Amino acid sequence: MRLLLAVIALGALAGCKSKPADVPLPAAVATPKEVALTSVGSTLDVIDSRVAAAVAVAREANTTGKTAVVESELSVAGSFLPKPTEGDLAYARQRSEKASPADYERQRAKAAEKQKAAEAAWADLEKQVAANKAALAARDARIVELTKEVEAVKAEASKNVWTLLGAGLFAVGALTTAFLGPRLGVPLLACAALAGSVPFIYDSPAFMWVAIGTAAIASGLSLWWLADKINDAVQDKKDEAEISKDE
């Protein structure tokens, strides 16, 4: 019994000799989700387009002297825009009072530059989100790979345990057969063969049938052992009775 426990312990230690490769996972930077970013971008595009359309119609109405239409279209455009700061509002009023064509041209040029910079920044943000999506996909793939490696290591450890257990039982069975007879040694040798084949049986499609057959064989051996013990007991009583008669 002690030898069997020692074999099992050695098998457990041998099964832990390897581990998955320590490869760092790819880093991922937190950014908005692609779906949310696309939704926000679409909403901003709609707002910009409708403001531009309202301003364009207001300018057309202004050239034809339709002041009421100008006011209505500008009010629609203003409803899409945030409330201006006091500083920006004062600057615009000062510009209108001055009414310098050079100032207006300069403001239009600055506005075009800011629009171009905003579009470039948005394009960079979309690239960052796409890059992060790829990094997260690589990270998930690596996690799946590591999970498979862990499962493979567990399976290898289990095979090592059963192999060492089979080897130990075989050695014990051989010694038992040599010194105590085949009646005790042969079952141990059979158990050794069974222990050594467990990993292959477990992975086999016929595992259920093998398990049923093994249980049947084990039950048969148990019944054979019990019958043998009963037969020995009966024979011992007969021998004792014959000895008593002779006396």
Q: What is the pLDDT of residues 200-229, one digit of tens each?
A: 766 667 767 767 877 788 788 788 888 888
Distance CA 193, CA 9 (A): 19
Per-residue pLDDT band for 113 (boundaries 50, 70, 90) equals very high
pLDDT number for residue 8: 37
Query: What are the helix (H) ranges across 181-206?
Result: 182-202
User: pLDDT-based confidence at 24, cuts 50/70/90?
Assistant: low
Task: Please state the domain extents for the chain.
Answer: 34-140, 158-246
16, pLDDT greater than 60: no
Tell which wins on pLDDT, 183 or 107.
Answer: 107
Number of H helices and number of E strands within the chain? 7, 0
Give the confidence band of 236 by pLDDT, cuts at 50, 70, 90.
confident
Q: At 66, phi and psi to the nearest 5?
A: -90, 80
Residue 29 in this model has a pLDDT that exceeds 60: no
What pLDDT sits at residue 129? 82
Q: What is the pLDDT of residue 194?
A: 74
230 contacts 239 by C-beta, under 8 angstroms:
no
Q: What is the pLDDT of residue 159?
A: 78
Q: For the whole model, what pTM was predicted?
A: 0.46
188: exposed, middle or buried (Cβ count in 10 Å: 0-12, 13-18, 19+): buried
